[in-house]
């Protein structure tokens, strides 16, 4: 069993996001990157499968600030091989990201065959598409998204995947392997890995580098950001100000006016 996990870094929204001069992109200087949340879940799902069935996990990431930390963390958690694609032009879109992944998967020895390719279902910056279906199409593998659980069939030729639907309904799918799954959430929240283990991984694990090639056809259908601005939500709601008991009193007045008591 070989599980390939695709990891992408995304802006950390805990920090305030600033817009770069020109108003069309985020200010990269004020930005910290963090492993996309659902990619973290994809890695966790791979680790759970490894614990249950035994598997080799390869984590493949696209170069970005702090990506090494993410890969060493993945190694400390149990990824057997870690690799990053380097040399892309910065500011690549998600569809380009998917093609960089596909390129590396095709070019680098040992990434294929993979029985399962797991990645996050969607990142907060996936403006022009999703990684998982594009990679699946390129490799002619089946794709299923919004997956929240995976169990291998005894034959290891297929997996049962749980997909979320609206209203709390879930669907159980039988998926022939190899397949690409877009993970919404792993069966358990991503595990904690102690800092000492990450540090040990930094010393003992080598991150392989895969050189990105220029994308062949010179580009994808244009999606251009005309303007970017911070969502100023406070403009919408009427904001109540004061100490907790003051605002609580005000709010109760409003609720009473509307007959909510």
Selected from 27, 51, 153, 172, the binder of another protein by CB under 8 A is 172
Query: Cβ closer to another protein: 36 or 210?
Result: 36
* Cα Rg of the chain, angstroms: 21
CB of 13 to another protein, least distance (A): 5
Q: Is 63 in the site for another protein (CB under 8 A)?
A: no
Whether residue 52 contacts residue 46, with contact meaning beta carbons closer than 8 Å, is answered with: no
Whether residue 43 contacts residue 79, with contact meaning beta carbons closer than 8 Å, is answered with: yes
The 67-106 contact track toward another protein, x by CB under 8 A, reads ----------------------------x-----------
Q: Binding to another protein (CB under 8 A): which residues in 185-214?
A: 185, 189, 191-199
Query: Cβ closer to another protein: 90 or 165?
Result: 165
CB of 222 to another protein, least distance (A): 4
Whether residue 59 contacts residue 203, with contact meaning beta carbons closer than 8 Å, is answered with: no
Ramachandran assignment for 81, one of left (phi > 0), alpha (psi -120 to 50 degrees), beta (any other)? beta
Whether residue 141 contacts residue 179, with contact meaning beta carbons closer than 8 Å, is answered with: yes
Q: Which of these, 46, 73, 61, 52, lies nearest to 10 by C-alpha position? A: 61
CB of 157 to another protein, least distance (A): 11
Query: Cβ closer to another protein: 3 or 175?
Result: 175
Rounded Cα distance, 61 and 239, in Å: 42
Selected from 22, 90, 91, 174, the binder of another protein by CB under 8 A is 174
Instruction: Tell me the sheet residues that pair with 115.
Output: none
CB of 239 to another protein, least distance (A): 5
Q: Which of these, 91, 145, 95, lies nearest to 117 by C-alpha position? A: 145
Query: Cβ closer to another protein: 3 or 44?
Result: 44
Q: Which of these, 158, 42, 49, lies nearest to 59 by C-alpha position? A: 42
Q: Binding to another protein (CB under 8 A): which residues in 238-257?
A: 238-241, 244-245, 247-249, 251-256
Selected from 90, 113, 218, 221, the binder of another protein by CB under 8 A is 221
Selected from 22, 91, 218, 260, the binder of another protein by CB under 8 A is 260
């Amino acid at each position: 069993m070989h599980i390939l996990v695709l990891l992408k870094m995304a802006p950390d929204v805990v920090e305030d996001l600033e817009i770069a001069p020109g108003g069309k992109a985020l200010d990269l200087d004020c930005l910290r990157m963090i492993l996309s949340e659902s990619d973290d879940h994809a890695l966790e799902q791979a680790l759970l499968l490894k614990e249950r069935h035994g598997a080799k996990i390869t984590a493949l990431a696209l170069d970005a600030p702090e990506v090494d930390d993410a890969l060493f963390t993945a190694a400390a958690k149990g990824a057997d091989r870690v690799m990053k694609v380097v040399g892309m032009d910065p500011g690549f879109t998600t569809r380009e990201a998917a093609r960089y992944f596909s390129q590396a998967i095709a070019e680098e020895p040992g990434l294929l065959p993979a029985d399962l390719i797991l990645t996050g279902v969607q990142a907060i910056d996936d403006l022009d598409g999703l990684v998982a279906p594009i990679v699946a199409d390129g490799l002619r593998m089946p794709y299923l998204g919004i997956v929240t659980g995976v169990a291998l069939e005894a034959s290891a030729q297929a997996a049962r995947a749980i997909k979320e639907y609206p209203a709390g309904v879930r669907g159980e799918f039988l998926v022939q392997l190899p397949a690409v799954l877009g993970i919404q959430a792993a069966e358990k929240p991503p595990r904690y890995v102690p800092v000492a283990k990450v540090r040990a991984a930094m010393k003992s694990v080598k991150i392989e580098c895969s050189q990105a090639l220029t994308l062949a056809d010179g580009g994808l259908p244009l999606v251009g950001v005309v303007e970017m601005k911070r969502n100023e939500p406070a403009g919408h709601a009427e904001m109540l100000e004061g100490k907790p008991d003051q605002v609580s009193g005000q709010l109760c007045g409003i609720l009473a006016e509307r007959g909510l008591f």
